[in-house]
Each structure stands twice: as structure tokens, then as C-alpha cells.
Structure 1
Amino acid sequence: MSSILTNNSAMVALQTLKSINSDLAKTQNEISTGKSIATAKDNAAVWAISKVMESDVNGFKAISESLSLGESTVAVARQGSETVTDLLTQIKGKVVAAQEENVDREKIQTDIVALRNQISSVVNAAQFNGLNMLKGTDDVNILSSLDRSGDGSVEAQNIKVQRSDMTTSAGTYGAATETDLSSNGTRSAATATNTANAATLTFAADTDYSHEGFTFDVAGTTLVISAGELSGDENAAAGAVSARINALGLEGIQATVSGAVVSVNSTRAFEPVEVTATLSTDGTGAGDVTLANGTIPERAENVTFSSSAAVNEGDGYKLTVGDQTFTYVAGKNESFEDVAKGLKTAVDAGGIEGVTTKVAKNDSGDWMIKVDNDTASAKAIAIAGRAGGEASGGLFGLDGIDVSTNAGADAALSNIENLIQNAIDSSASFGSAQGRIETQSDFISKLTDSLKTGIGTLVDADMEEASARLQALQVQQQLGTQSLSIANQAPQSILSLFR
């Protein structure tokens, strides 16, 4: 049936043309925008994913800038600490030169002061955009990543870089109301004196020692007395042995005799002395020598720090020697080794005549500071501690290096080694942090590229496919137009029926 009111063919042709035009418009939009999914209506799920990833990409761009800033800041700090290390090494050369007595120590000290001032200048200048990592102890956080979990939550991650205080600040001792830490340090004696310690050799009474032979070992030096070298009774033998020991010329070792008893006296400050005695007879079995206290303890008195206690930032310790008190306040991640070395540096800088110090570790693993007094006046020894202070600088004690005297030159040698090690540790720490930041920065760059690639895979248009589809749709559009035209002409054929 034909109708002039309803043209089914034209309606079909029109719907087909509309569909073709819609596809053609979509294809043209893909070509113009370069995206197959440009809006949420194109594909809501994929569009949402792409937008989340795009926000992450923008976030990682900001992270990349943060890492660049952090890397530059740490690089400046590393360069500064390395320069400080070099300058401290130069100071060590001056200190070593000052060990000779026939050099102009005053001029050497002038050079040391100049190098010390240069170190202070380097530390003050080692800043980037106002941030100086060679001052203070607060950690610096550098934004390094955004971690997105499966539930969609996002958490920022940081690279924590620890500052290394390269100042010579003495720090601030804690308030009196803070926890008492004095129990963490114990003294071997309440006073330090120059009194010698001794071992005794007692020769048996009523004995003829002319047939006896002896072997004595004193501080690693062996004295052999063959049978027949001694004559007389125990008193004569003791006197002869005492003279033979003194003839060895051992530093800090002096033998005295009282009747049949020989006292082997040691004034060595930081070195115990071993004494052994072996008797060899002529076969009769006569004669005897009794050794008491075969290990002569060192003269120095010890302040021993607990191996079980912890050291926290701000823990301060005061060591009193005579009428002077010296303080060291621990920094972050320090130990009792650092406390002992810090107190040694402080005492040495005090320049107490006749007082020398040494840091060592005992057989139990406890760190000690040894204080020796080589004067006739006894020096009281006391230790106290308080928490809640402000840490001493990493180059604490540098200002106290003075090689103008023999004692100052001797003390400076060990103290400058500690300062150099602190600077080396600082440089190594900054170098490690800078390497980590560089690695993270490289990773973020590659990750950003990967995210961009992934986003492109989701939403970018296939231009080759779109081009081919465009040409096909253009042909379909032309054919659809002609089809609609033909369909619209169909009702005109009805006119022939009315002629």
C-alpha cells in the first residue's frame, strides 16, 4: 500500500542518515581532540580512571620539583661537610707538626685558628634557599612519593634526611627538674692523684740466694738473673734485683726495696703493667719469691658509662675535675662513646695543668673516660647528668684546640681525629641521602612517563583507524543522502495514477 501521509522508506533512510552523521561527528571529534574518550559520557568508568591517573601525574610533577629542590639542598650540605673534612685534615697536619718540640708552635696555632675560622665560614654558608643542614639537629623531610592504596586513599611519603650539626656550640645543659642521669656514670675513685701503683716481690727469709736463678718479666721486658749472679741473704738479693729492674730504664717504672721486699712501682697513666716472676733453683729446692699483685693497674681514674642505659638527644653530662666542671650534651643517635669523647674534648680544652685524659672501652664493653693527674695536688672526680638539654655541636671542642704547649699538642692529636671522623660520617650520610634522592627522582620521572602511557592507552584515539573510518562514513553519508532523496521522491509516482 502506498501512502502520501506516511513514507516508511524515507523514515528508514532518515534514521540511517542520522546514525551515519552521529558516527561521523564522533569520528571527527576523535580526530580533532585526539581522544577516543574525551568526556564522561563517552565511557564513564574509563574516563574516571584516566582522570585519577592524570591527577597523580600532576602530583608526581610536583614531587619531581620537590626532589630536585631536596637534592640541591643535600648536595650543598654534602659539599660543605666534605670541605670541612678537608679543612680538618689540614688542621691535623698542623697538629702533627706541633708534636715536635723544636717548632714554632705559636705560628702553627695561628694557622689552626685561620683554618678554624674558615670552617665556621663554610658551615654558615652551606645553605640552599635558606635551609642549612649543617646546623641544628631537626630532620628534614623531602616529599618523595604518593602512595595510592586499593581503597582509593592517598598517602604522601617522605625521604627523611638527618642534619649533621657542624658547629662548635657547647650546647645547653638540661634543667634541674629533669630526670637525674648521674647513675649512668660511675667513678673508680673520688679523687685522682699522682700516687704510683705497685706490685711486690717478697724474698723468703733465711735463704742463700747465691744458687738461685730468676726470670722477671716487667711490662713486657724480660730480666734474667742466672744462678750464681746473686750473693748473700734475702735482703741482699732484694736489693740487687731492685737495682737490676731500675737498670732496665722502663718509662714510668721504678723499683724500691725495703728489707726483703721489692716494690715495682708504676706511674703509667693509661697502661696497666704486668709483672711475673719465675724461680729456678740449683736442684736443692731452696729459696722462694712471692709475687703480689702481678697486674699493676693504671694510675688514671676511670669514669665508666653504663652499657645498658640509652643516650637520648639532649642528655647532658657534667664531669668535675678538681674545681672545674666540664659539660657535653648528646645529640641525636649518639652513644656513650660520643659522650666520653665529648667530655674528653671539654677537659682537654680546659687546660688543667698535669691532667690528661683518654677514652677507652673496658672488657665488658663499657665506654670510659680516663682522667690522670700528674700533680702533687689531688683532684676530686665527680659525674652528674641531666636530660632535656640542647645538643652540643658536631665540632664541639674545635675552638679549644691549642698546640702552643706540650700537653695541648698531645691532647689535640686524638681530639682532631674525633672531629675528622664526625665530619666524614656527616659527608657519608649526606652522600647516601643524595644518592637515594637521585634514584627516587629518576624513578618518579620514569613512573610519570609510564602513567602517561597508560592514560594514553585508555583514552587516546587510534588515528589510523579514525582516518579510515572517517572516509568510510563520508561515503556512507553521501549514499544515505541519496537514499533519502530517492525515498522522498517515491510519493510523486502516485500522481501518475490521477492523470
Structure 2
Amino acid sequence: MSSILTNSSAMVALQTLKTINGNMNKVQSEISTGKTVSTARDNAAVWAISKVMESDVKGFKGISDSLALGSSSLSVAREAAEKIEGLLNNMKEKIVSAQSENVPREKLQTDVEALRNQIAGIVSGAQFSALNLVSGTQDVKFLASLDRSDTGVSTSDITVARQDLSAGNGTLGVSTGSPQILAGVAVITGNITAPVDSAGTAVTSITNGANSARMAGAALAAGASATIKINGQTVTFTNDTGAGMTAAATATRMISEINKLGVEGVTAVLNGTTDIDIQSTRAFEQVTVEHVAGLAAPTIPTAGQGTVSGAVATISQRAESYVFGGNAVKDGDGYTLNVGGVAYSYVAGKGETVEDVVRGLKISIDSGNVPGLTTKVGQSATGAWQLHIDNSSDTNRAIAASSGTVNGKASGGLFGLDAIDVTTVEGARAALSNIETMINKAIDAAAEFGSAQGRIDTQTGFVSSLTDAMTAGIGTLVDADMEEASARLQALQVQQQLGIQALSIANQQPQNLLALFR
């Protein structure tokens, strides 16, 4: 049935043409924007996912900036630490030269001070964007990643530990009460034990004399020999007088033979008429005396100056020793030793160990440049760290009660640098051991900075790759396939032309009804 009121063919052709035009508009939008999903109307789920990922990409670009800043800051700090290490080695060269007797010490000290000032300048100037990693102890965090999970978004940081290469003395914190360390009482976290002699009696002063072992002379028959060993070196003589030697004569002859041996720090003297006192002024070494033949077995004449085991006497070192336990050391823990009426302190920094505390106290004492007062760091047979303190001055030096504090400001990593003095033999010798500690601190700092910089550079590369991967993923979700869009556009253009033609034909059909009424 035909109708002049309702043209079904035209309606169908019109709807088809509208659909074609709609698809054509969509394809043209894809071509002009380059995206299949440019608004939430196109595909709400995909659009939402892409926008979240785009937000993360922008965040990672900010992280890249943070990592670049961190890498630059660490580069400056590492260069500073390496330069400081080189200057400390130059200073060591001056200190080694000062070990000789006939050197211009004042000129060497001038060179040392110039190097010291240069190091101080590097420490104060080694900053990037107002961040100085070679001064202070607080950790620094650099933003490293965004972590998205079901519960939301969080961040991850790369933590870099400052490496303090300043020469500051630090500041003692609050007292822990009265943590006396005499007689082995613990002080804060270090478990420091005050010196005791070989008999286990607490030592209250550092003497300036010699420790000794005693051997009684004995009558020696003609042709007989007397033999002892001092630190493994044999001292012997044979009675070639043709007659027996009295105990006094034997003692006198053995004393002569011992002194001719020329063992450093060891001399023999006559005590009474027949006793031989073998005296040691060695500060940091024990001396063994072994009876082999011809004399009486050795003894220790003064309690606490050595031990005897069978035919062997061990003369104790002259220095007195503080023993440090292996407990943890906390940032800000302060340790003070009182020697000769002077308090010598060191405040531990973050991550430092018992060894660092012992070496810090050694530097503190050496920095006082007290004539005759020398120190040495060592370890006991059980591995406990020890600080040996010797006194070669004219008077004894008292050891008073010492104390501990907490929550102080840490001493600088190059603590004691300002006090290096090579104008005296004692100062030059102390400086030689202390400069090694400082060089190791600078080496460790440069290594830490280098390791942290390597980690940041690795993270920078990962963030860059991750950003590229996410950008590519977003493109996969929303970008248009231009080859497909081009082919679809051409097809839709043909369909549009056909649709227009079909609509034109459909619109002509009612006019054909006029012929029926002619």
C-alpha cells in the first residue's frame, strides 16, 4: 500500500543516513584528535583508567626531577669527599715528614694548617640547592617512586645518610646520672671498664715509671753458663774465669750482657747485691723474661706489674687500658674520660660503633697535646676494643671517675683535625695514627655517596622506562588506529553518498502517485 502521509522508505533511508553520519562524525573525531576515547562519553571505563594512568605519568615525571636533584646533590658530596680524602693524604705526607728529628716542624705545621683550612672550605661549600651532605648527621630522603594499590597511593623514598666530614667537637647531652666506670660499672650503652692491674685491682693513676721482673743471681761454677731469653732473644754467658763465680758476680755479669743486647725500652739494674731487676718502659707492649739456665726463676717484685707462669715472667705494658664492651652505640651518646684532671670527651654519631668511640676518645686525648701523654687503640684477646693511655712525664697522672651522657650533638667525622700539631715529636706521632682514622672516614664517606648515587641513577633509569611503558599503555587504550580510521572514513563516505541517493529516491516515490490521478 502506498501513502502520501507516511513514507516508510524515506524514514528507513533517513535513519540509515543518520547512522552513517554519526559514524562518520566519530571517525572524523578520531582523525582530528588521534584518539578513539577522547571523552568519558566515548568509553567511560577506558577513559577513567587512562586518566588515572596519565596522572601517574605526571607524578613520575616529578619523581624524575627529584631523582635528578638527588643525583646532583650526591655528585657534589662525592666529589667533596674524594677531594677531602686527597687533601688528608697530602696532610699525611707532611705528618710523615715530621717524624724525623731534623726537619723544619714550624713550616710543616704551616702546610698542615693550610690543608686544614682548605678542607674546612670544601665542607662548608659542598652544597647543591642548599643541601650539604658532608655536614651534619640527619638522613636525607629523595622521592623515588609512586606505589598504587587497592588502598590508595603511597610514595617510596631513597634514604641517604649524611657523612659528616666537619671537625666539630660535638656537644655533650644530658647526664645519665652518675654512671661511674671505675671497677667495671657500666656507662650508658658502652660498658666501659676502667683500668685494672694484672692482679685485678682498680688503677687510679697512670704512673711514669717502669715495670719489672726480678731474677736472683746464683753462684756459677767454672765453665758453667747462665742463659735467659728476653722477648725470645737469648742472653747468655759462660763463666770462663777458671774459678767459681759468686751470686753477686753472676748478677753483675748478666746485667752487663742484657744491657749490651740493646732491647728497646728494656734495661737491667742491680737490686741489692744479687738480684737482677729487668725493667721495661715499653708503653704499649709486654715483655717476656724466660729463665733457661744458671739463675733463679723470675718473679714479679711489685704486685700488678706482670704475671709469672713457670719459668716465664710477663712484664705488663706501662700504659693503662680502658676496655669497651660490644653493646650498641647510639647517636648522641657522649663518653668522657678524666685523665690528669682534664675531661676528654667524644660524642658518637649516627651509625657509629664502639671502635669509633674508642678512636674518638684517643683523638680527644691526643688533641690536648699534653707532654708525655700518649695513646693507642687495640683489641683484647676476646676482641674487645681497648684504649691504652701511657704517661712518660715527670709526674703520675690521676684517673678520676668518668661519665656518660645521651642526646648530645655528635662530634664531626674529622674530629681532632683542628688540633693536629706536628711541632713536637709526640704531636707528630699522635697525628700519624689519627690521620689514618680521618682518611678512612673520608674514604667511607665517598664510598657511601658513590653507592647512593648509583642507586639513584638506577632508579632514574627505571622510572624513565616505567614512564615510557605507561605512556605506551595509555596509547594502546585510547589512541586511534589511523590506518583503520582512514579505511573506515572512505567506506563511510561511499555509504553516505549511497544513503543520500537512497533518501532522494525514497522522497520521489510519493510524486509517482500523481500519475495515477491524471
TM-score band w.r.t. shorter chain: over 0.9
TM superposition shift of 1:352 = 1.2
Q: Residue type of the partner of 2:89? A: T
Partner residue in 2 for 1:197: 211
Partner residue in 1 for 2:200: none
Picking from 470, 474, 483, the partner of 1:451 is 470
TM superposition shift of 1:131 = 1.3
Q: Does 1:219 align with 2:231?
A: yes
Partner Cα separation in structure 2 for residue 231 and residue 94 of structure 1: 59
Q: Residue type of the partner of 2:358? A: A
Q: Does 1:278 align with 2:278?
A: no
> Contact 1:171–1:390 at 8 Å: present in 2 too?
yes
Partner residue in 1 for 2:17: 17
Partner residue in 2 for 1:34: 34
Q: Residue type of the partner of 2:9? A: S
Q: Residue type of the partner of 2:133? A: M
> Contact 1:301–1:372 at 8 Å: present in 2 too?
yes
Partner residue in 2 for 1:434: 453
Q: Residue type of the partner of 1:266? A: S
Partner residue in 1 for 2:303: none
Q: Residue type of the partner of 2:508? A: Q
**Structure 2 counterpart SS, 1:290:** coil
Partner residue in 2 for 1:337: 355
Partner residue in 2 for 1:411: 430
> Contact 1:213–1:228 at 8 Å: present in 2 too?
no
Partner Cα separation in structure 2 for residue 210 and residue 190 of structure 1: 49
Q: Does 1:266 align with 2:280?
A: yes
Partner residue in 2 for 1:284: none
Change (3 A) 1:471 1:239: same
**Structure 2 counterpart SS, 1:452:** helix
Q: Residue type of the partner of 1:222? A: T
Partner Cα separation in structure 1 for residue 254 and residue 107 of structure 2: 49
> Contact 1:168–1:393 at 8 Å: present in 2 too?
yes
Change (3 A) 1:75 1:251: same
TM superposition shift of 1:112 = 1.0
**Structure 1 counterpart SS, 2:23:** helix
Q: How does 1:303-452 map to 2 (within 5 A)?
A: 303-307=322-326, 309-382=327-400, 383-452=402-471
Partner Cα separation in structure 1 for residue 498 and residue 250 of structure 2: 136
Partner residue in 1 for 2:157: 158
Partner Cα separation in structure 2 for residue 485 and residue 181 of structure 1: 111
Q: Does 1:483 align with 2:515?
A: no
Q: Residue type of the partner of 2:142? A: I
Q: For residues 462-495 of structure 1, give each alpha carbon's deviation from its aligned partner in whole angstroms, at most 9, with x where no partner exists.
A: 0001001100000001101111111121122222
TM superposition shift of 1:70 = 1.1
**Structure 1 counterpart SS, 2:276:** strand
C-alpha RMSD of matched pairs (Å): 1.9
TM superposition shift of 1:28 = 0.5
TM superposition shift of 1:397 = 0.4
Q: Residue type of the partner of 2:338? A: T
> Contact 1:109–1:403 at 8 Å: present in 2 too?
yes
**Structure 1 counterpart SS, 2:263:** coil
Higher mean C-alpha deviation, range 38-47 or range 331-340: 38-47
Partner residue in 2 for 1:169: 168
Partner Cα separation in structure 2 for residue 41 and residue 275 of structure 1: 99
Where does the alignment leave 5 or more consecutive residues of structure 1 unmatched? 280-286
Change (3 A) 1:487 1:290: same
TM superposition shift of 1:262 = 2.5
TM superposition shift of 1:178 = 6.3
Partner residue in 2 for 1:136: 136
Q: For residues 148-173 of structure 1, give each alpha carbon's deviation from its aligned partner in whole angstroms, at most 9, with x where no partner exists.
A: 12x15211111111111111111111
Partner Cα separation in structure 2 for residue 226 and residue 27 of structure 1: 119
> TM-score, structure 2 length as denominator?
0.90
Q: Residue type of the partner of 1:156? A: T
> Contact 1:24–1:470 at 8 Å: present in 2 too?
yes
Q: For residues 228-285 of structure 1, give each alpha carbon's deviation from its aligned partner in whole angstroms, at most 9, with x where no partner exists.
A: 6894244433332222112111111012334443322111000111222223xxxxxx
Partner residue in 1 for 2:296: 289
TM superposition shift of 1:438 = 1.1
Q: Residue type of the partner of 2:374? A: T
Partner Cα separation in structure 2 for residue 354 and residue 90 of structure 1: 27
Picking from 263, 284, 288, the partner of 1:250 is 263
Partner Cα separation in structure 2 for residue 441 and residue 181 of structure 1: 52
Count of aligned residue pairs for this structure pair: 488
TM superposition shift of 1:138 = 0.7
Partner Cα separation in structure 2 for residue 16 and residue 418 of structure 1: 89
**Structure 1 counterpart SS, 2:422:** coil
Partner residue in 1 for 2:47: 47
> Contact 1:197–1:266 at 8 Å: present in 2 too?
yes
> Contact 2:366–2:430 at 8 Å: present in 1 too?
yes
Q: Residue type of the partner of 2:315? A: I
**Structure 2 counterpart SS, 1:100:** coil
> Contact 1:193–1:376 at 8 Å: present in 2 too?
no
Q: Residue type of the partner of 2:405? A: R
> Contact 1:135–1:166 at 8 Å: present in 2 too?
yes
Partner residue in 1 for 2:76: 76
> Contact 1:179–1:387 at 8 Å: present in 2 too?
no
Q: Residue type of the partner of 1:199? A: A
> Contact 1:185–1:384 at 8 Å: present in 2 too?
no
TM superposition shift of 1:45 = 1.8
Partner Cα separation in structure 2 for residue 332 and residue 181 of structure 1: 24
Partner Cα separation in structure 2 for residue 232 and residue 496 of structure 1: 169
Partner Cα separation in structure 2 for residue 428 and residue 437 of structure 1: 14
**Structure 1 counterpart SS, 2:297:** strand
TM superposition shift of 1:177 = 5.5
**Structure 1 counterpart SS, 2:269:** strand
Q: Residue type of the partner of 2:209? A: T
Partner Cα separation in structure 2 for residue 74 and residue 136 of structure 1: 15
Higher mean C-alpha deviation, range 297-306 or range 485-494: 485-494
Partner Cα separation in structure 2 for residue 13 and residue 260 of structure 1: 140
> Contact 2:24–2:492 at 8 Å: present in 1 too?
yes
**Structure 2 counterpart SS, 1:492:** helix
Higher mean C-alpha deviation, range 352-361 or range 195-204: 195-204
> Contact 1:181–1:387 at 8 Å: present in 2 too?
no
Identity %: 53
**Structure 2 counterpart SS, 1:289:** coil
> TM-score, structure 1 length as denominator?
0.93
Change (3 A) 1:330 1:251: same
Partner residue in 2 for 1:95: 95
Q: Residue type of the partner of 1:352? A: V
